[in-house]
Structure 1
Amino acid sequence: MIPLGGSVRVELEARTGGALEAELDRDAWRALALQVGDGATAVPRAVRVFPAH
């Protein structure tokens, strides 16, 4: 979890093993109360794909 003012950014691991970054507001983050290793469902609203280096 990386705090970003009024929001937080979290790194998620996909079932396929790839990494995803999700950004959500602090109220949503607190309501979810996620801990490392918890399962979660992510539904993208805005997708940005960056080329691999």
Structure 2
Amino acid sequence: MRDIKTYLSTAPVLTTLWFGSLAGLLIEINRLFPDALSFPFFSFLLNSFIDM
């Protein structure tokens, strides 16, 4: 059991899980909001930087 716990806590496994979940999140965001330029949060950030 200790060897399995050590294996699952290694950097390549954690990195694979992290990038896999990040890719899934980006896929779902692009599925819900197909055009990132019209995504309200990004346009809000862009407008706030322009107003500065």
Q: TM-score, normalised by structure 2?
A: 0.23
- Choose between structure 1 and 2 for higher RCO, CA contacts under 8 A separated by at least 6 residues: 1
Bigger CA radius of gyration: 2
